[in-house]
Amino acid sequence: MIHLFRRKHSFKSLTVNPIQFLSNKSFDSPKSSQNPQFRVKPYSTSKFPEYEMPTVTWGVVQGRKEKLVSRVIISDYLKSIGIIPDELEEVELPSTVDVMRERVEFLQKIGLTIDDINEYPLMLGCSVRKNIIPVLGYLEKVGIQRSKMGEFVKKYPPVLHASVVVELVPVVRFLRGLDVEKQDIGYVLMKYPELLGFKLEGTMSTSVAYLVSIGVNPRDIGPMVTQYPYFLGMRVGTMIKPLVEHLVSLGLPKKVLARMFEKRAYVIGYDVEEMVKPNVDCLVSFGVRKEALASVIAQYPQILGLPLKAKLSTQQYFFNLKLKIDPEGFARVIERMPQVISLGQNVIIKPVEFLLGRGISVEDVAKMVVKCPQLIALQVGLMKNSFYFFKSEMGRPLKELVEFPEYFTYGLESRIKPRYQRLQHKGIRSSLSWFLNCSDQRFEERLYADYVETEIEGPSFVMGGKLDLPGSQMVSDEEDESDDEILYRRTVSL
């Protein structure tokens, strides 16, 4: 891994920028001293007085023989302190040990160890005055804390070779142009320092353009970068586009994917072959229907990146042992609330024990959970209040709760009490589903109708979506929603 990292970045140190090359020299040739156009103004370090300047930068002018002797002396010095100089053979080194010692000490002062330097010894070819101090000063200016500067350089040592004006400043401006907040620049770079080595017209621009083309709001690109900057380094053709096309093939419209990426940018990083496809196959093997896959992913995108087989096996066994829910029932639970995969078993068992303690049989509790999985994620305290009102004020049989477990998911003060009191005032007797499972507008229509509608089969609950009531479309404020719109709203509700 170390050798790969070195080979990946070693070319950068061997690329000579004429301006940097001239400015790095501590001497002027006779020609350059006579002709002003050859003089290069060194990078000003007055803005960064906190970094102590070295007394010398490169040493003195030497002939070929003197250079060879100096290189041997410097190599011996580096070996004596534990640094392996083999990769420095093609790198220009200072003429004296004193200069090299100052470089090593400076790097150690910012938090690097000898082992860190051995990971990327090419950093010793950087002049403290001409390269390192200007780079560190700029990084600190854009938000990298001085206490974390060593960690930053350790993550991406080639940054020490970079030109502040030519390479670093354009990347920072590019990030600001994507609406990354100024105070977040340091956080983004600390998270993914390799950004500083990317070309603006390359991968970064194409990945952003592609995401916008599938419907991602340009204003959301900045927050996405802050959350998951790694997608800027992903190739569209080999990484992002294959993921999008596979998810679309499962039934997820691009509009839904765009909202998903805006809210969960890290989903873009899921590998199609190694993570997404195996997890989709795993869901199917556990009984999730193919036509329900799009809904499952829209509700819980993280499911594509989890160690799914182990989690599903554990939860399925637990549901069967403690809740008496068979594998088929467990699959229906996953379809309606896939978040259950990540729920702790101690969280799940509390609502179940509460219902069992109220005289509801194990079989009926199992039916309630399969029909409305949200039950196992509710706070027991809220369930107690709703149950007390159900028994003391409504005086209804437990059978109604078994038939309509969604009762516990409605707010007691915001919906159950006020609607029930209005029914009492009007002298209307109806099922729980009839007066709870409808919008405010529909409730008003039912309240003042001349008759009570015929009771039909109760609704099924889907986490993050509207209640699906067979035989009736009046279950939410929107009377007509396409499948795409339902998926879209489930995604937005995450």
| pTM above threshold 0.85 | no
Q: Work out the number of other CB atoms within 10 angstroms of the CB of residue 101.
A: 16
pLDDT computed for residue 26 by the predictor: 36
Asked if 25 and 58 touch (Cβ cutoff 8 Å), the reply is yes
Radius of gyration of the chain (CA): 33
pLDDT computed for residue 483 by the predictor: 55
pLDDT computed for residue 484 by the predictor: 56
* End-to-end Cα separation, the chain, in angstroms: 39
pLDDT computed for residue 93 by the predictor: 85
* Paired residues of 468 in beta bridges: 460
pLDDT computed for residue 114 by the predictor: 95
Single-letter residue type at 5: F
Q: What is the DSSP letter of 128?
A: I
Euclidean distance between CA atoms 354 and 231, whole angstroms: 45
pLDDT computed for residue 63 by the predictor: 57
CB within 8 A of 309, min separation 6: which ones?
Answer: 282
- Per-residue confidence of the chain (494 residues) as pLDDT tens digits? 334 344 444 433 333 333 333 334 333 333 333 443 333 334 344 444 445 555 444 445 555 667 788 889 999 999 999 999 999 888 888 888 999 999 999 999 999 999 999 999 999 999 999 999 999 999 999 999 999 999 999 999 999 999 999 999 999 999 999 999 999 999 999 999 999 999 888 889 999 999 999 999 999 999 999 999 999 999 999 999 999 999 999 999 999 999 999 999 999 999 999 999 999 999 999 999 999 999 999 999 999 999 999 999 999 999 999 999 999 999 999 999 999 999 999 999 999 999 999 999 999 999 999 999 999 999 999 999 999 999 999 999 999 999 999 999 999 999 999 999 999 998 888 999 999 999 999 999 888 876 555 555 544 444 444 433 333 333 333 334 555 555 555 554 55
The strand ranges marked E within 121-175 are none
CB within 8 A of 139, min separation 6: which ones?
Answer: 149, 152, 159, 168, 189
Give the distance, in angstroms, between the CA of residue 212 and the centroid of all CA atoms in the same chain.
Answer: 18
Q: What is the DSSP string of 44-81?
A: P-TT-TTSPPPS-SS-----HHHHHHHHHHHHHHHHHT
Euclidean distance between CA atoms 453 and 476, whole angstroms: 17
Euclidean distance between CA atoms 247 and 241, whole angstroms: 10
CB within 8 A of 72, min separation 6: which ones?
Answer: none
Burial letters for 323-343: b for 16+ Cβ neighbours within 10 Å, e otherwise?
bebeeebbbbbbbbbbbbbee
